Chains A and B, each alone.
Chain A
Amino acid sequence: MLEVSHITKSFGGRQVLTDVSFTVSPGRLTGFVGGNGAGKTTTMRIILGVLSADSGSVSLGGERLDADSRRLFGYMPEERGLYPKMRVLEQVVYLARLHGLSAREATANATALLEQLGLGERLNDAVETLSLGNQQRAQIAAALVHEPRVLVLDEPFSGLDPMAVEVVLTVLKQRAAMGVPVLFSSHQLDIVERLCDDVVVIADGIIRAAGPREKLREEHSRNVTELLLDGDTGWVRDMPGVTVLDFDGGYALFEAEDEAARQRVLNQALCHGAVVDFARQRPSLTEIFTEVVR
């Protein structure tokens, strides 16, 4: 487990991270969401040791990280970049060798990975001749080529078309299934909602919410129920212990003060006609996000 504890960082008197703590569990995809300038990139840079924190620590499996353990991390920075004049394979092999792989291992890993990411035809082309989407795939290969024990990816899906998103997602899920903790940031909340097991929300350098996605949705759901009836739903407004949030002919969205009130609505609904739908509504990640960062 990757553990970030009580990280504080300021740049020239401006506090950018305040007591940031969260964990990334092995085998799970953890989404790191927050607005622009919320502190996502700074946090990731501190995890990777590219920046140093003013206080606090980052540990893996209970041991504080040092240069040697960070070598086993895979990192994809927000600021993309590879050497434009180097060939794709050569570039990924070079980075693998900097991580300590032998020339033979590096070439084998890089070739397999680039082929899996759909760049098998472009291995010997210069990076600068690739389209931006393909450069992005090469970048992901660069982060994965040394079979990292931990993956930290800053906005890995930005700039990818939906097909490429699926390819990259498959690769990331494979790593997670192998027991690798995967942390990735994104401002595309729908992607995070769909992909992530755990979510960490940051705003103004403070962690606003963290935990398993479903648990967060549970915690932030306000006992709101959606009722779809084959008939008019105007009567719901007159039920005790119920507040109607939205109403339109046979559709009503109401918040019940307790489960008994909810059940009373259901009983009443059955008397008014066929119940098409009666479902508790849980908030989307976007709703939780706007709520917690407010």
Chain B
Amino acid sequence: MSTTTNTRPAKTSGPTLQQVTALVAGREITMRLRSKSFLISTAILLLGVLASVVIGGFQSQQGVDRITVAVVGSAERAVADSEALEAQSVGTEDEARELVRSGEVEAAVVPDNSADNGTGVLVIADDAPPVDVVQALSLTPPVELLDDSAESPFLAYLVALAFGLVFFMSAMTFGATIAQSVVEEKQTRVVEILMSTVPVRALLAGKVIGNSVLAFGQIALIAVIATIGLLVTEQTPLLSAVGPAVLWFVVFFLFGFVLLAALFAATASLVSRQEDVGAVTSPVTMLVMIPYFLVILFNDNSTVLGIMSYVPFSAPVGMPMRLFLGEAQWWEPIASLLILLATTAVTIVIGSRIYSNSLLRMGGRVKLMDALRGR
């Protein structure tokens, strides 16, 4: 009988809702961080981001490699003015022709003072006109762009792809995690002990917060690694163009993910077996996939992007994209964020109702209307 004397009764004042929520969230995070598959997939994702930034930077620097040409006499002056050409002086025109023929130089530039040649030089090449050399020697008029701030369509596509893909992958990964975690508690029946111990809303809040912290942490890590990668490879112009959009993306993602997490938790609570999670959460999965496809297909369509940037489910992708393109006014991200926050709040209220009404119903799939009505 003496073996239990060293155990102490619970304090009369119970834990606060915040404390319980923190405990639940803490468990979600600990268990996730203990999973090897999660750590490995995160490492691969981060390496992929780093690799694409570094390789991108490497390739953009290779573009400024200079072309070697042979020059004779006074022609050297014409070549020296061009940044794209590397002059290799030779004594005679015949020597220059020999170098071109052997392939050691791209072309040769020799003086030509014939009356019909206004440029004063002659370009000698092997079997085709060397367009890049000719262009480097040509006189180009200055160009004035009316819309100076617009980004190139190719870069816009890449940024759209990056926002879309990162949102899609993180939301899917952590959405699936939260859905599995809800069903795990139902399937293993541990949920009844939990429900008899803590308020259901603390259970739901802890799950959503725990997984949102993980998802947010992963997104923030991706943003930091991409930034460091851009800095190290000296792509500062790109960084300053993308930077503000990335910051907004991180903020939008935080609230956008909470919205999706509540939906994933609520829908998953309708079933009792892991096998049924995929089917029951597929409408939510669609909500994650649609913004991804839209931003890739319509990143040059300002009407579609405009609508996307205000619809709560696609705002985390649409609004940063418009900010990057310079199409949004300063107040627009704030307005869109408020819409997102309001939607998130309403979703949490409805979601927790579905969640708490479905938790004890084992076996078949609970009908959504029954879960809402609580019958």
**Chain A residues engaging chain B, CB cutoff 8 angstroms:** 12, 45, 48-51, 67-68, 70-73, 75-77, 79-86, 94-95, 97-101, 105, 108-109, 112-113, 115-116, 142-143, 145-149, 171, 174, 177
Across the two chains, which residue of chain B brings its CB closest to A154?
A: B192
B362 contacts which chain A residues (CB < 8 A)? 79
Partner of B7, one of A82, A83, A85, A109: A109
Partner of B196, one of A75, A97, A105: A75
Across the two chains, which residue of chain A brings its CB closest to B195?
A: A50
Give Cα A115 to B6, complex, Å.
12
Is B9 within 8 A of A100, CB to CB?
no
A67 contacts which chain B residues (CB < 8 A)? 14, 199
Given contacts A72-B10, A79-B189, A83-B185, 6 further A-B contacts (CB under 8 A): A50-B195, A50-B196, A77-B196, A80-B189, A94-B23, A99-B197
**Chain B residues engaging chain A, CB cutoff 8 angstroms:** 1, 3-4, 6-11, 13-15, 20, 23-24, 27, 31, 34, 184-185, 188-199, 360, 362, 375
Give Cα A80 to B188, complex, Å.
7
B6 contacts which chain A residues (CB < 8 A)? 108, 112
Is A99 within 8 A of B10, CB to CB?
yes
B11 contacts which chain A residues (CB < 8 A)? 100-101
Q: How far is the CB of A291 from chain B (nearest CB, A)?
A: 33
Selected A-B contacts with CB under 8 Å, 7 pairs: A67-B14, A71-B14, A77-B189, A85-B31, A98-B20, A98-B194, A99-B10
Closest 7 CB pairs of A and B: A81-B189, A79-B189, A147-B9, A77-B192, A81-B190, A109-B7, A81-B188
Q: How far is the CB of B356 from chain A (nearest CB, A)?
A: 10
Of A50, A75, A113, A148, most buried by chain B (CB within 10 Å of CB) is: A50
Is B190 within 8 A of A48, CB to CB?
no
Across the two chains, which residue of chain B brings its CB closest to A79?
A: B189
Evaluate whether A82 and B190 lie within 8 angstroms (CB atoms) in the complex, with A98-B20, A112-B6, A113-B7 already known.
yes
A80 contacts which chain B residues (CB < 8 A)? 189
Partner of A12, one of B7, B194, B375: B375
A97 contacts which chain B residues (CB < 8 A)? 15, 23
Q: How far is the CB of A125 from chain B (nearest CB, A)?
A: 15
Q: How far is the CB of B179 from chain A (nearest CB, A)?
A: 16
Is A83 within 8 A of B197, CB to CB?
no
Q: How far is the CB of A85 from chain B (nearest CB, A)?
A: 7
Is B8 within 8 A of A109, CB to CB?
yes
Give Cα A84 to B4, complex, Å.
27
Across the two chains, which residue of chain A brings its CB closest to B374?
A: A52
Is B7 within 8 A of A147, CB to CB?
yes
Partner of B9, one of A49, A113, A142, A146: A146
Give Cα A12 to B361, complex, Å.
13
Of A71, A75, A115, most buried by chain B (CB within 10 Å of CB) is: A71
Q: How far is the CB of A52 from chain B (nearest CB, A)?
A: 10
Of B13, B185, B193, B194, most buried by chain A (CB within 10 Å of CB) is: B193
Give Cα A79 to B361, complex, Å.
12
Give Cα A71 to B191, complex, Å.
15
